[in-house]
Amino acid sequence: MSAPTILVTGASGMLGGAVATTLRDRGARVRAFQRRPAGIPGVEDVTGSLTAPDEVRRAVEGADAVVHLAAKVSISGPEHEYRAINIDGTANVLDALRAQGGGSLVNVSSPSVAHLGRAIEGLDAAPADPERARGPYSRTKASAELLAMAADGEDDLLVTTVRPHIVWGPGDTQLVGRIVDRARSGRLPLLDEGMALIDTTYVTNAAEAIIAAYDRIEDVHGESFVITNGEPRTVRDVFNGWCDAAGVRRPTLRVPGSVGRFAGRVVEKIWEKRPGFDEPPMTEFLAEQMSTAHWFDQRRTRERLQWTPRVTMDEGNEHLAAWFREHPVTD
């Protein structure tokens, strides 16, 4: 049997690159679609925009499956930009699969689609709720997930959704890089002493779970899964581990959670009128994430996907420290 052709959208990102590389190493023919070349050896690059239906159709043509990771991921910005990429882009992927007669879609979403500002303690994947999800990213990803899952079983489409939670690893400039930079400059607050219990996911674990969903899609289509390491730790412990790996001082700034959430609301209003060159230092959603528990029951995920994470949090921090030794933090 010939090797499958699998399209990975968003392969220029850390997680998308890990998925594409792992699929390539398994012998699949891997095609990557994003705005700029992913540059992964042995992976075919197709450049284009999710918002251009013809470009998406060109990328999908001939693919047996799509792993859809590309999205607008941020904590601020106009909602119409999120809608165009996250919702309309997902619709374009679905239409492209329909146009070629069907296929499999692993839709990569986020647990934030079901986060309503309250603590999540030991729950499974709750329904995506675009009406009550917090922030434009979460709302549009929730709508995109509902759109994708509604297509399952129609037009010869099989669809499943995975929601990796707080993915991190070596070379991560978006999350780990920002945390380390702000801690080094003394600008990283611990809300409510950093005692909220949270789950995170090491990048290779997240990639392998996504591929497990692809492998098992005939059995698990129509289902959504939260993916984590299954090792809840406090925000303080998570941040300390990353800072220790980078060789920078641990965060010492303490702020009450209520103050952080209020400050986030104020900063969001300022950024709407006078946006900075970077993301805002705090938003209400970010303050909620840093001061509210969010950890998940992984029993159904592991049973249905026949997957368990291989890299523990401590091992991940060791890999992170090794990376920082080769790429030291400089002023």
From 71, 65, 51, 62, select the one nearest 11 (Cα to Cα): 71
Residue 295 forms beta bridges with which residues? 121
- How far apart CA 248 and CA 329 sit, in angstroms, is 8
Helix (H, G, I), strand (E, B) or coil at 207: helix
Query: What's the token pair of residue 43?
Result: 């992976």
214 is catalytic: no
- How far apart CA 235 and CA 191 sit, in angstroms, is 9
Type of residue at 329:
V
Please state the φ and ψ torsions of residue 227, each to the nearest 5 degrees. -115, 125
Helix axes 135-150, 89-99, angle to 10 degrees: 20
- How far apart CA 108 and CA 106 sit, in angstroms, is 6
- How far apart CA 212 and CA 67 sit, in angstroms, is 11
Taking 3-state DSSP, the helix, strand and coil percentages for the chain, each rounded to the nearest 5, stand at 45, 20, 40
Please report which residue ranges of 228-312 form alpha helices under DSSP H. 235-246, 257-273, 284-291, 299-305
Helix axes 257-273, 284-291, angle to 10 degrees: 160
Residues in the chain: 331
Angle (CA) 63 66 70, round 5°: 130
- The catalytic residue among 82, 137, 202, 214 is 137
Judged by phi (left if over 0) then psi (alpha if -120 to 50, else beta), residue 155 lies in left
Residues designated catalytic = 137
